[in-house]
Structure 1
Amino acid sequence: MSDASSDETIRAAAQASKAWPYEEARRLLKRWPEGKPDGSAIVFETGYGPSGLPHIGTFTEVLRTTMVRRAYEELSGGRPTRLVAFSDDMDGLRKVPDNVPNPQLLEANLGKPLSRIPNPFDTEDESFAAHNNALLRRFLDQYGFEYEFVSAAERYNSGAFDEALRGVLRSYQAILDIMLPTLREERRLTYSPVLPISPTSGRVLQVPVRVVDAEAGTIAFTDEDGTEVEQSALGGLSKLQWKVDWAMRWVALGVDYEMYGKDLTDSGVQSGRIAAVLGGRKPEGMIYEMFLDEKGEKISKSKGNGLSIEDWLKYGSDDSLAFYLYREPKRAKNLHLGLVPRAVDEYHQFRDAYAGQEIDKRLGNPVHHIHGGAVPTGALPLNFALLLNLVSLPGVQDKTVAWRFVQRYAPDTSPEQNPELDALIGLAVNYARDFVVPTLKRRAPTEDEAAALRDLDAELANAGEADAEALQNIVFEVGKAHYGKERLRDWFGVLYETLLGSAQGPRMGSFIALYGIDNTRRLIAEALAS
């Protein structure tokens, strides 16, 4: 099949696919059936508020939006696209986050734009926002995203938003007519679409504003000290109220697609109406459910109860993170480190299945969207769960030692030839050390259990060079002899609890083949001696 006909086949299958990135992309095709009239790129946007450290929820928006962007490019035959990662770093700091150093420095600068607050971290970044922006960009770059980083502070300060600000001033009353009915009575008294920056304190002010001259960009207001001030709203001397700012940004940047969390549903409606007043159009976008921590509470940057990007990558691959974030975006999900092992193994299961699937199944496979269709090949010789069981054992809690066991199990592997496996072993060592080993407690077998273990030991003594499948059969036969077919689950529970110290465990034949028959017999001897 030629490349052209292959592309057409994929496009036809994608048109019918129920995978959510394609469903989102089809909405963009409906918005611009022939592409934009001037041939310019379809603009995707993600937003970030750098009042707290970036966490996985922040990264998720960029990942998922990228998946929609790729799906649109597939469906449209390669029409141009852009992804803007926008940082609202002109926002005033409302409260000091719980998870940052030098809180007194931030306390002294409350109310000031995030980009004008000193950096409390021990880095060379010039401001609090610059530090947090750098963290976000570093990970986006590490993951290989194609994006354009846009700073609100740079756009406001340079005058790039000045014409859009004039548009807000021209439509001041129309915007008030949209917003005031949505506010509490006391809030209406001080609400203004434009937030001036005090010429004396440098803080972003929540005060009523009078438009003096929309074309000149001049406004009047009462400063914190009671002084009546008349100054420009342009060139970084003001910023817009959040919902107005969002709408202005959509219009000024020509945004066609932006997804956002369920908590912003009403904001999206109001910002969409404001965008129409400003002569623009609300972007297409998916409303996704929020992530919850392991206690079921909403993840918050200021609380610091979410995961940092670095947290997950200490224990799981970036592909496993992408896999977890891809699935069921419209359903609330817990997000904590206990999910890492399963996500790692499920990612590889889906990846291993990809090459043998029909085209419609491929396009619905998460790995197609994680890798933009360029899915890596090559299966690993063992999974993460099995590695965790190995490196949780005394004397194996080291990457170099673990490799000796792995190479005996899979002789053709090496750290140099198998860097993905090498990285996975290192991650397993980290996870086992921090989360598995502290929970392990091997119990002594009962008299009946000890009899079964002695029989297993005798069978293993005569197993010779048996492979994983043959060893699994040995374990099964001993179990059936002592527990019957009906209670084999109990037999495996005995093995996990007495040999490994855990309530759950691996496929025992694979574990014995990996750990070694002699080493496994030593585990049995220790259990019997206890």
Structure 2
Amino acid sequence: MSQIDRTLAEAARAWPFEEARKLVARIGGKAPAKGYVLFETGYGPSGLPHIGTFGEVVRTTMVRQAFQRLSDVPTRLFCFSDDMDGLRKVPDNVPNKEMLAANLGKPLTSVPDPFSNEHPSFGAANNARLRAFLDSFGFEYEFQSATDWYKSGRFDKMLLAMLQHYDEVQAIMLPTLGEERRATYSIFLPISPKTGRVLQVPVIKTDAQAGTIVYRDEDGTLVETPVTGGNVKLQWKADWAGRWFALGVDYEMYGKDLIPSAELSAKIVKILGGEPPEGFNFELFLDEEGKKISKSKGNGLSVEEWLRYAPPESLALYMQQQPRRAKRLYFDVIPRAVDDYLAAVEKLPAEEPAKALENAAWHIHDGKAPANSAAGVNFNMLLNLASVAHTDSKDVLWQYLRRYVPGATPENAPYLDRLLTGAVAYYQDFVKASKKFRLPTAAEREALQDLAETLAKLPEESTAEFIQNEVYEAGKRHFAQAELRQWFKTLYEVLLGSEQGPRMGAFIKLYGRDNVVKLIERALAGEDLSRAA
């Protein structure tokens, strides 16, 4: 990267650059002892990957990319799976529930795979789904398994340090717990050699010199076990701290609800003699009613649901925008996100370098401006096209698109085809039933008649901008300047059955001049435009 580019990056105001500058200050311009800056995201594999997983990885990737513009120090991103956690309950969305119920309490990597015999365990099956999920978006990351780290001994040094400072760490954790929990709490969770379950039992004795703890097993017998070699795992807040310490994590994001946990984990890291990572806490998403999204309630929006209607770049943009502001994550945000993404991509190539660093598309595509594959068509325009064409056939809508984008086909314009597929599905699922057409008023009838006559006289090859200007002029002939906004609202409500709509010039060019004239004539005749002609 050139010095000029680095200077621009150092001044960039976009939040990934602000975060990256914190990391540059942390390392003081030189590589840490481990030789690289480590970014981490965590994942609990008791369920399938979800939209929060995508959000953490894509946002962390954006910070990593920004850091790479500011420093030549190598970076790595670990996606860490807490797959040694005990299975606490049977998920609702998996088969073989009885088999899972019989294995409650065991580490996820010791529970049989309920889906098939393809994977050695439930944890391994969900880890495979996580990796496939991340790979489908092209993320650059390294997968890490807690089971591997515990059983291979790579956590041993950290676990012995936890044992050495056991009383100090316990003193941090106990005041945060209720009275009943305090009576049995230990940062170490032994794994029963008899049942294989992760035990929530008090530790009766610790021996830092021997590296062991003593606890009472489920059958009441006393057991002394090493804390190393995968014989125990840590309670999750201590586990989070232990991971930061053992791996040397430099940067990790977490939701606003985990701020207290992150503060506790940071204190534990310092007790162990380590340095907590730089952190970024993001706001949580809200559902349709403005309530916090809960995985157990299922009141949110899944990645699969989003991708049914829109490309993944639009979801990445929604994650990039204002991460510290609570936002609704529901179906109605999708059209705006798609169009915001398309607008960002369209602007990026022509922007000055400093301005480009503020563009969401720069962060989504790591500074590499993609070709504008949508050819000036946006999602809302396609929704309105589906509305007036009264069809759920993508092939029918392609007939209109070819007029707007000469020579385009699903084969040579796959991105446009992807947008059209999503728009048709979105229209059928959410828009069709909500369309509310109205009849024009007397003043509006005169203006609409004028517009129809104006359009009929326009050359077929008129550009969208020229048509837009003619629509504007038709409105000026019938309404005062202050009423022109209402003129366009009239067009949307009378012709499209919506309070909002696309730029009319582009829409008329897409749907066809003659088709729009017929649409106006039907509206003037009092026909029901919610039905096909």
Which stretch shifts more, 186-195 or 491-500? 491-500
SS in 1 for 2:79: strand
Any idea what SS the aligned residue of 1:287 has? strand
1:307 is aligned to 301
The residue that corresponds to 1:511 in the other structure is: 507
- Quote how far apart the aligned CAs of 1:216 are: 4.7
Deviating more after overlay: 410-419 vs 24-33:
410-419
Total equivalences in the alignment: 524
SS of the equivalent of 2:199 reads coil
Aligned-pair distance for 1:43? 1.0
Query: Alpha-carbon deviation of 1:114?
Result: 2.4
Cα distance in structure 2, aligned partners of 1:97 and 1:125: 18
Q: Do the aligned partners of 2:317 and 2:361 also contact (CA within 8 Å) in 1?
A: yes
492, 499, 513: which is aligned to 1:496? 492
What runs of 5+ residues in structure 2 fail to find an aligned partner?
528-533
Aligned match for 1:393, one of 388, 392, 395:
388
Q: Does the 8 Å CA contact 2:41/2:80 hold for their aligned counterparts?
A: yes
Of 214, 222, 231 in structure 2, the residue corresponding to residue 237 of structure 1 is 231
- The residue aligned with 1:190 is 184
Partner of 2:482: 486
Tell me how far 1:405 sits from its aligned partner.
0.9
Task: Report if aligned partners of 2:78, 2:141 keep a CA contact under 8 Å in 1.
Answer: yes
Identify the match of residue 167 of structure 1 among 161, 172, 176: 161
Q: Which residue of 2 aligns with 1:28?
A: 23
Residue 192 of structure 1 and its aligned partner are, at CA, apart by 0.2
**AA paired with 2:270?**
A
* Structure 1 SS opposite 2:252: coil
Letter in 1 for 2:88: R
**How far off is 1:37 after superposition?**
5.2
- Please give the alpha-carbon distance, in whole angstroms, between the structure 1 residues aligned to 2:204 and 2:153: 21
1:363-378 equivalent positions in 2, closer than 5 A? 363-378=357-372
Summarize deviations over 1:102-145 as a string: whole Å, max 9, x none.
Answer: 55544443322222333344683443333332232212112211
Report if the CA contact (8 A) 2:163-2:206 is conserved: no
Structure 1 pair 39–188 and aligned structure 2 pair: CA distance change class (3 A)? closer
Deviations 1:468-517, CA, capped at 9 Å, x for gaps: 23333443344334444333333333322232222222222221111112
Task: Give 2:519's aligned residue.
Answer: 523
Whether contact under 8 Å (2:389, 2:397) holds in the other structure is no
**1:460 Cα deviation (Å)?**
3.0
Post-superposition shift, 1:98? 4.6
Residue of structure 2 equivalent to 1:135:
129
**Secondary structure of 1:423's partner?**
helix
Q: Quick one: which of 9, 15, 18 aligns to 2:4?
A: 9
Letter in 1 for 2:242: M
Aligned counterparts of 1:371 and 1:155: Cα–Cα separation in 2: 33
Q: Do the aligned residues in 2 keep the contact of 1:98 with 1:304 (CA within 8 Å)?
A: no
In structure 1, stretches of 5+ residues that fail to align are: none
- The RMSD of aligned alpha carbons is 2.4
Structure 2 match to 1:118: 112
- SS of the residue 1:47 aligns to: strand
Q: State whether residues 223 and 229 of structure 1, in contact with CA within 8 Å, keep that contact through their aligned partners in structure 2.
A: yes
Residue 189 of structure 1 aligns to a residue in which SS?
helix
Q: 1:475 aligns with which of 471, 477, 480?
A: 471
Q: TM-score, normalised by structure 2?
A: 0.91
* Separation in 2, partners of 1:223, 1:157: 21
| 1:208 CA displacement | 0.5
Taking the TM superposition and a 5 Å limit, the aligned residue runs for 1:41-440 are 41-76=36-71, 78-121=72-115, 124-214=118-208, 216-378=210-372, 380-440=375-435
Report the residue type matching 1:220 in the other structure: V
How big is the shift at 1:240?
0.4
Distance 2:487 2:96 in 1: 55
Q: Displacement, 1:447?
A: 5.3
3-state DSSP of counterpart to 1:391: helix
Q: Deviations over 1:70-111 (max 9, x none)?
A: 1112111x2111110001111123334454455554444332
Contact 2:56-2:253 at 8 Å conserved across structures: yes
Partners of 1:103 and 1:443 in 2: how far apart?
53
Name which of structure 1's ranges 154-163 and 212-221 shifts more when overlaid on structure 2.
212-221
Distance 2:352 2:484 in 1: 37
By how many angstroms is 1:152 displaced?
0.8
CA distance in 1: counterparts of 2:295 and 2:390, whole angstroms:
39
Shift of the 138–276 alpha-carbon distance from structure 1 to 2, 3 Å rule, reads same
Report the Cα distance in structure 1 between the residues aligned to 2:178 and 2:151, rounded to whole angstroms. Answer: 32
The range that moved more, 336-345 or 113-122, is 113-122
Rounded to whole Å, the distance in 2 between the matches of 1:159 and 1:350 is: 48
Among the aligned pairs, what percent are the same residue? Answer: 56
Instruction: Report the TM-score when normalising by structure 1.
Output: 0.92
**What secondary structure sits across from 2:350 in the alignment?**
coil
